[in-house]
């Protein structure tokens, strides 16, 4: 068994909401075993509603920033997780040996567009936040790179 952390990049189009929530859930739930990052193919900044609902769940996103995926092409990565369909379809090619998987989540800002109230809009963010948390809670075992033991 190795004590080396698993390096995981969560990739979305805007790197403003879903990939950010995945990164910070990972940092919160697996600080000893996973080095988490997030990026986008077209970074849009950090979504304040995502920050708000993560804080409600006890997860600080202090220091969050929106990064372009090109910043990570030469970085040591074990896994890239695309969390939106557009990022999955436009995912750059990473060096050999970097596993890429797609686990899509609905887009809270798109879902919230038709909300009648702010509270109704935040419910979309909370639901997706919780779906991402459930996915991240299963790390790292289902996603351990080949050759690494449990």
CA 145 to chain centre: 18
Can you give the C-alpha Rg of the chain in angstroms? 15
Residue 26: active-site member:
no
Burial class from Cβ neighbours inside 10 Å (0-12, 13-18, 19+) for residue 119 reads exposed
Asked if 91 is an active-site residue, the reply is yes
Q: Can you tell me which residue has the tokens 């190795």?
A: 2
Choose the catalytic residue: 84, 87, 132, 136. 84
What does DSSP assign to residue 90?
A: T
Catalytic hit among 6, 8, 12, 46: 12
Catalytic residue among 59, 91, 112, 121: 91
Pick from 99, 102, 114, 107: which is nearest to 148 by CA?
99
What residues are labeled active site? 12, 84, 91
């Amino acid at each position: 068994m190795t004590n080396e952390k698993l390096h995981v990049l969560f990739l979305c189009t805007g790197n403003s909401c879903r990939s950010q929530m995945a990164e910070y859930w990972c940092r919160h739930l697996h600080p000893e075993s996973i080095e988490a990052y997030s990026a986008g193919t077209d970074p849009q900044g950090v979504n304040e509603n995502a920050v708000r609902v993560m804080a409600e769940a006890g997860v600080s996103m202090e220091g969050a920033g929106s990064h372009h995926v090109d910043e990570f092409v030469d970085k040591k990565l074990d896994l890239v997780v695309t969390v939106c369909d557009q990022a999955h379809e436009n995912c750059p090619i990473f060096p050999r040996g970097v596993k890429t998987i797609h686990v899509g989540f609905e887009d809270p800002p798109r879902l919230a567009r038709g909300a009648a109230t702010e509270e109704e809009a935040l419910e979309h963010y909370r639901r997706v936040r919780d779906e991402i948390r459930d996915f991240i809670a299963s790390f790292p075992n289902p996603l351990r790179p080949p050759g690494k033991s449990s």
